[in-house]
Structure 1
Amino acid sequence: MTVISDQEIADFSADFNTNSKNQVASRAARRSGLLEASFNDRVSERLNHVFSTELDVGGVTDQKHSGRCWEFATLNVLRHYFGKKNKVKDFTFSQAYNFFWDKIERANAFYDAMIRLADKPLNDREVQSWLAFAGEDGGLWSMAINLVKKYGVVPSYAMPESFNSNNTTGLIDSLARKERKDAIALRKLVSEGSSQDELEKAKKHFLNEVYRMVSVALGEPPKKFDLEYRDDDKKYHLERDLTPREFVQKYFKDFKFDDYVVLSNCPNHEFNKLYHMPLYDNVDGGDQIKFLNVPIEYLAQAAVAQLKSGDAVIFGNDVLKQMERKTGYLDTELYQTDKLFGVDTKMSKADRLATGEGFATHDMTLVGVDEDHGHIRKWKVENSWGDKYGHKGFYEMSQPWFEDYVYDVVVRKEFLTDEQVKLAEGPAIDLKPWDNIG
């Protein structure tokens, strides 16, 4: 390591003051902040709320202060399907219901992993990945579908949002602390030579405590509910005593859950390969969490095709990059901080993923696209941050932003190539928990 000398500091200062524009930029940045000082309002010329293909959807939902975007995006797709089938545009499903079961199932997967990895040291990289993941509320489409398949869904009024579902920090912090302590106890039982029955007894005791914690925080989920709504033609509907599973079996019998594939674009991994993320397998006996990694143009093509068929598209993205909440703009030229600083921080997508600069931090839903003779101009995005941001809760995304910051789309197999369908139905490559595949 070399020491920065006084002469070097003097040289840096002299270089900074050589260009008078640096002082102008500094005054603007200090006065209004870096992002505001570098904001490019000209992006509004191409992000103008007009789309050549646009789904007829109702209002947006609001995940509040929680990491449940993946459940909101999944249930948005389901509610759009239900709304179209039953002519009820603004019908919504309970996010709290599926969030409840996510906490139970994820704790079960965590305890199983701690028993399986008990012979490894605590500082083992895989053990540490699981410990870091304890209690988390982030997730993926396939995880949400696993929960829907096992537990069904309920209308939002059957299990409404509460303080703790809207503000999950307290709950996930408590669950993480408890599960990590339980991990120490399970590891100790294994080291003492406890039988499988003894380990299962301990795990059941811990799961019972987790159930109690989640029930205190969110309330117990309903076992039955009355389906009641008035459709867009003002016709009244009532069906009594439905279980959540019966609701899915009856009203989603034509929704082919297994026809959906997650197409990813993570160029730090080999294309045309199916990958499996064991860390995210949230339901024992459920579907594995898989991604088919392909070039970005296939994500765009499949998403456009699915929108034109009348169905929305979930996509994972790095939402905090080049995004403004107020306008709802998502554009690679939105904040021109490199020009403000006089530096070049542009990186390839592969390099961003490899260094941790790039990561899918949010799930949203595509509900429209604007094309000009096959050239994609922009996308209409349904977010889950309420209607006070963007254009009544909807965002506009440029195609360059899609290419740079979108990491996956969830599409039906019919919109894949024949070769991609074969790959999606074939064996998958297991990834390590620390592999960044967006």
Structure 2
Amino acid sequence: MNNSPGWDRPRTSLYTDHYELTMLQASLHSGAAHRKTVFEAFARGLPDGRRYGIVAGTGRLLEGIADFRFGEAELDFLARTGVVNAATLDHLAGYRFTGNIWGYPEGEAYFPNSPVLIVESTFAEACVLETYVLSVLNHDTAIASAASRMISAAGGRPCIEMGSRRAQEESAPAAARAAVIAGFASTSNLEAGRRYGLKTVGTAAHSFTLLHDSEREAFAAQLASLGPGTTLLVDTYDVETAVRTAVELAGDKLGAVRLDSGDLVAQARWVRALLDSLGNVHTKIVVTSDLDEFSVAALQSAPADSYGIGTALVTGSGAPTAGMVYKLVSRTNNDGEFVPVAKTSKAKINVGGRKHALRRFDDTGVATHEVIGVGRLPDDGGHGRPLLRQFMEHGEIIPGWTGAEAVARARQRHVDTMAELPAAVNRLQHGEPAIPTIYEAG
């Protein structure tokens, strides 16, 4: 499932809310627990001003669902705390998801009401997954969506994920994975590298320079240990002095210098001029310091070669959740026939029925609509692409949707999906979704 056989994933069954198990208990009592159901994860809208979102987290989610079991420790906790009764504990002791899961593949764009994930199984199996499904998809999709905007703003210059210290320890590797799916070149997080086969990078912080008696001594030690191709951090004291010292010690083989403070646009320009004047025309400039998609866009006029992005990325750059919900949209009746169901309150209206989805294009191959079919796949009109793929069948993960290779495929999928969307997706200004979502009844 992952790049390292030594990684033991935690049991996921208690990554859930209390009421999911009490619903299960009550439905077991009523006899409705074993009705076949269809649940759907979707976002009613995009974060304010966003024009599209990017799906991420599905591979992690599938692995977690496959491991969703109630072992002795979990059952003992539920018994001691009286969360559910003995009959429900007996049911949970044998829990295993045996249904089917469909959805938008990782790296794919989504829009309001896109059926990002569809879970087909009994109510007893599907209802207890709600919180776990939403916690994974809301987090990873928020990160991937922010990362995609940053990649667009970077205009082809590499971006490095550097946000681990601004994230919870388990969310950090997940954020790195989502960022790489959306186009980031590498991460500073070693656990992400181990789990998901991501490229990891890093050299030295200001503390390394301050540890030594002089900046020259620190640079010499780093160069001796890591080689001249390393990146030297040049803003601990005086940037110009540091750049000159770096070139003096490493010569024209110096890999890069990193700027982490000040007016980055102006500073990158004169540092580039200084490097060139010293003969280091191939030494690159790495820029960090609380970057987001807007500051990256501003740096397009500067001779920066790559960007290290942390806090804004791992917090979704103002949108830390994708706002997805998990709703029952269809169930069997007493005759075993599927019937659509939906919440119909005025504030939150859902559309019932099992969904199908495709994206329609104009004659030039540019996307024009997200089309949701209720009960059937909509007509593609001669220019359409079905969006839903099956991830699990009878509780087994279909090969290809997890592991390091799945991340690489999702990364390419992001490139492909961005290429088919209207140019409006590259604008950072607030605006409506790049394409509208429309429904077609079965």
Class of the TM-score when normalised by the shorter of the 2 chains: under 0.3
TM-score, normalised by the number of residues in structure 2: 0.24
Structure with greater proportional helix content: 1
